[in-house]
Amino acid sequence: MKMLQIPSPLHRLKLEQKGDDISTWVKRDDLIHQQISGNKWRKLVYPLKEITNDGSAGVITYGGAFSNHIVATAIACQALRIPCVGIIRGDESLSAANPSLSAAREGGMKLHFVDRDSYRHKQDAPAVQNIIDQYPGYAVIAEGGRHRLALRGVSEIISEVDTDLVRRPDYILVAVGTGTTFAGISQAYSGTLIGINVLKNKGVEQEIVALLEIDQLPVGHSIQHDFHFGGYAKYSAELITFMHDFYQGSGIKTDVVYTAKLFYAYQELRQSDFFQPGSSVVIYHSGGIQGNAGMNHRFPGLIRF
C-alpha cells in the first residue's frame, strides 16, 4: 500500500538533558500514516492480506464511536479496495457526525449502530447477528484489531528497532488496551517490557497470556496499573498540561486515551529512578492522534495542537 512510512523512524527523545545517563528513543509509529497510524497498521496488515487472498467478500469489524481501529480499518480497506462494515457501539443520533465516524464513512465504511447491551454481548446478540447476516462471506476482525495474525505484524516493530540500534534496548514501554500490541512485542523481545495499562482492567495480563498461549508473562515483562487516570479515556488537567508541555519540548503529539498516559508514565518512572543507570529505553508511540479530534468534539478546546 502506498503512502505508508514503513519502517517508521526511531527518534532520539529531544527532551533529554546533557549528561543524562539513560538514552531514550521513540519508535514513531504515529508517523506511519495520518489515519492508519501506529499499532493499527501493525495489527491489520496480515489479517487484511489474508482476507484479500482467501476470497472473503469484505471485512466486518467493531468499535466505539471514537475508535482508532474503526478509522484505520476504513482507510486501509479503502486503499486495498476491500468492502468494509463497522458495527458501532451506541446511539447513531449522538455520534454519527463525530470526526472519527465521519472519516470512516468517507473512507467507504458502511456503519451500523447497535445499543450498548447488544454490543457488549456481540457474540450472540440478535441485533449484531442481523447485521452480519446482511453481509455473507465477510470476514470478521474483532474489536481493537485483536486477531491471531495481528501479533506477527506487531512483532515487526522489534526487527525495525534492531536494524536502527547497534544494541537492543534494555527497556521498551508500550500503552496497553486489549494487550495485543504488548503481546506481539513480548513474543519478539526478551528485554524488560513494560506495558502501561490505560484502562482500569486488572485482568489484562490474563488476556495477554491467553493470546500468547502461555501460562504467565515472560520474566521481565509486566504491566503497570498506576497510570490509567481513572480509566479508559479519563483524564485530569495535569495530563492535558503534560501533553501540551511534552509537545512543546519534544515536537511529539500524543493522544489523550493512550500515548499521553504512556509518556507521562515514562516521566514518572524515570523520576523515581526505575531505570538502571546507563540503560537505553524505547518508547513505542502507537499513534491514535486522530482520536484527539473526537475529544475536542466532546470537550471543545481541550487539546490545542
Ligand X SMILES: Cc1ncc(COP(=O)(O)O)c(C=O)c1O
User: Per CB under 6 A, does 294 bind ligand X?
Assistant: no
| Closest approach of ligand X to the CB of residue 69, in Å | 6
| Closest approach of ligand X to the CB of residue 74, in Å | 14
Nearer to ligand X, 101 or 135 (CB): 101
Q: Which segment (18-26, 54-62, 240-248, 285-293) binds ligand X by CB under 6 A?
A: 285-293
List 59, 179, 280, 303, residue binding ligand X (CB under 6 A): 179
> Pick from 263, 193, 196: which is nearest to 228 by CA?
196
Nearer to ligand X, 11 or 42 (CB): 42
294, amino acid identity: G
Nearer to ligand X, 60 or 157 (CB): 157
> Pick from 194, 154, 191: which is nearest to 176 by CA?
194
- Using CB under 6 A as the binding rule, the residues of this chain from 69 to 88 that contact ligand X are 69
List 144, 153, 169, 294, residue binding ligand X (CB under 6 A): 144
- Strands lying side by side in the sheet with 138-141: 110-114, 84-89, 58-63, 138-141
| Closest approach of ligand X to the CB of residue 187, in Å | 13
| DSSP-derived pairing of the beta strands 23-28 and 10-12 | antiparallel
Nearer to ligand X, 38 or 169 (CB): 38
Q: How many residues bind ligand X (CB under 6 A)?
A: 18
d(CA 182, CA 172): 10
Question: Would you tell me how many other CB atoms lie within 10 Å of the CB of residue 34?
Answer: 14
Cα dihedral value 208, 212, 218, 222, nearest 10: -20
- Using CB under 6 A as the binding rule, the residues of this chain from 33 to 62 that contact ligand X are 38-39
User: Per CB under 6 A, does 288 bind ligand X?
Assistant: yes
List 176, 194, 243, 282, residue binding ligand X (CB under 6 A): 176
| Closest approach of ligand X to the CB of residue 146, in Å | 7
User: Per CB under 6 A, does 286 bind ligand X?
Assistant: yes
Nearer to ligand X, 39 or 224 (CB): 39
Phi then psi for residue 131, to 5 deg, are -70, -50
Contact 41, 10 (CB under 8 A): no
Binding-residue pattern over the window 225 to 264 for ligand X, x denoting contact by CB under 6 A: ------------------------------x--x------
Residue with cell 529512578: 273
Q: Which segment (9-17, 84-92, 110-118, 282-290) binds ligand X by CB under 6 A?
A: 282-290
Q: Classify the C-alpha dihedral 187-282-38-235 as positive or negative.
A: positive
User: Per CB under 6 A, does 197 bind ligand X?
Assistant: no
List 63, 86, 169, 287, residue binding ligand X (CB under 6 A): 287
Nearer to ligand X, 223 or 269 (CB): 223
Nearer to ligand X, 135 or 172 (CB): 172
Q: Note the residues at the interface with ligand X (CB under 6 A).
A: 38-39, 68-69, 144, 175-182, 255, 258, 286-288
